Structure 1
Amino acid sequence: MITMNEIVREGHPVLRMKAEEVKLPPSEEDKEILSGLMEYVQNSQDPAIAGKYQLRPGVGLAAPQIGIAKRMIAVQVNDEEGKQWSYALYNPKVVSHSVEMAYLTTGEGCLSVDRDVPGYVHRYARITVKGTTLEGEEVKLRLKGMPAIVFQHEIDHLNGVMFYDHIDHNQPFKILDGAIAIER
């Protein structure tokens, strides 16, 4: 079981690396890694388990965050209508996106960042993601709102990008023209 002890923190070189594609079909080791990422996200959202193992709650986790430079992410998040988006994916890729941008009004956080980083992170308002599930099924997900933000955050980890790289450091709370504000 992955705990906070396995999660690498900012400054670790793996967080700035471009992760490698996972060879499909995945090895048993890669299946275990991806299952472990999803297990952490689910456990971290369960107050009893999170409390018992001192897990910081998270809506997503990428393999580089546990020191493994491979293209794997796990996400579990609800959209505005309450629909749960729960996916563990190999080789996820944004294949299309809107011109329109969006941002979380509360800013973003990260399990690999132990400090508050104030500012708005502008991301695409709508994206389409392709990837392969744990079961080997190829999926194409059309996302908007909070799920779109979370998937972009996790896919950024696979490219060595941290959320605060997107913040305008001169004007951290500057809002791009027409950007959609998303409440958490």
Structure 2
Amino acid sequence: MITMHDIIREGHPTLRARAEKFTFPLSDEEKQTAQKMMEFLENSQDPEIAEKYNLRAGVGLAAPQIDVSKRMTAVLVPGEEEGQEPLFKHILINPTILSESVQMAALAEGEGCLSVDREIPGYVPRHARIKLRWYDLDGNEHVERLRDYVAIVVQHEIDHLNGVLFFDHINKENPFAKENPFAATEDLILL
């Protein structure tokens, strides 16, 4: 079981390295690592388990965050209502963004990261919509269009595979700068 002790923190060189692509078929060990990453997300979103094991809630976990410099991430975005199916629940192997919208978006409350133990205020500009290709554990190709919060989460995770942390995107002079007039919802700001 992955716990917070297994997650490396900012300053660790693996978080700044470009992760290597996988070749198929995946080994049993690689598949087990992927399943443990998804299990961490499930556990972190369960209040009782999270409290018992002192887990911070997460919606994504990239392999570099557990010091495995490979292009794999687990993403679990829960449904909007309790008990609803997740909006997105996949293990992404070798994910690639095929296209992205011109329109940008940011989370109103900013972003956080399991590998960053401090709050860093500011808008993190992301593409509001992306077209994503990834492979599952068996090597099957998937292509899907993602938008809004799910698209933001996936971009955050792919950044980890490229050695980028969320705060690298924040405008240093004006963390809450808006490039264009924006429309705000409760959670999302279109920049």
* Range class of TM-score, shorter chain: over 0.9
The answer to whether the 8 Å contact 1:121/1:163 transfers is: yes
The answer to whether the 8 Å contact 2:26/2:138 transfers is: no
SS in structure 1 opposite 2:95? Answer: strand
Task: Identify the residue that residue 49 of structure 1 maps to in structure 2.
Answer: 49
The answer to whether the 8 Å contact 1:92/1:155 transfers is: yes
Give the direction of change, closer, same or farther, for the CA distance of 1:167–1:134 in structure 2 (3 Å limit). same
Output the amino acid matched with 1:36.
K
CA RMSD across the alignment:
1.6
Deviation track 1:157-178 (CA, whole Å, cap 9, x = no partner) reads: 0000000000001000001215
Task: Identify the residue that residue 96 of structure 1 maps to in structure 2.
Answer: 99
Deviation track 1:65-84 (CA, whole Å, cap 9, x = no partner) reads: 00010000001114769752
- What is the rounded CA distance, in whole Å, between the counterparts of 2:180 and 2:7 in structure 1? 36
Q: Which runs of 5+ in 1 are unaligned?
A: none
1:43-82 matched pairs, under 5 angstroms:
43-78=43-78
- What is the rounded CA distance, in whole Å, between the counterparts of 2:144 and 2:56 in structure 1? 27
Deviation track 1:100-130 (CA, whole Å, cap 9, x = no partner) reads: 1000000000000000000000000000111
1:11 equivalent in alignment to 2:11: yes
Work out the number of aligned pairs and report it: 184
Task: Identify the residue that residue 31 of structure 1 maps to in structure 2.
Answer: 31
- What is the rounded CA distance, in whole Å, between the counterparts of 2:58 and 2:179 in structure 1? 27
- What is the rounded CA distance, in whole Å, between the counterparts of 1:95 and 1:80 in structure 2? 27
The answer to whether the 8 Å contact 2:19/2:162 transfers is: yes
- What is the rounded CA distance, in whole Å, between the counterparts of 1:90 and 1:126 in structure 2? 20
| TM-score when normalising by structure 1 | 0.95
- What is the rounded CA distance, in whole Å, between the counterparts of 2:113 and 2:145 in structure 1? 23
The answer to whether the 8 Å contact 2:25/2:138 transfers is: no
1:158 equivalent in alignment to 2:186: no
Output the amino acid matched with 2:45.
Q
- What is the rounded CA distance, in whole Å, between the counterparts of 1:180 and 1:65 in structure 2? 33
Task: Identify the residue that residue 134 of structure 1 maps to in structure 2.
Answer: 137
% of aligned pairs identical?
54
Output the amino acid matched with 1:21.
K
Deviation track 1:129-169 (CA, whole Å, cap 9, x = no partner) reads: 11111243321121001000000000000000000000001
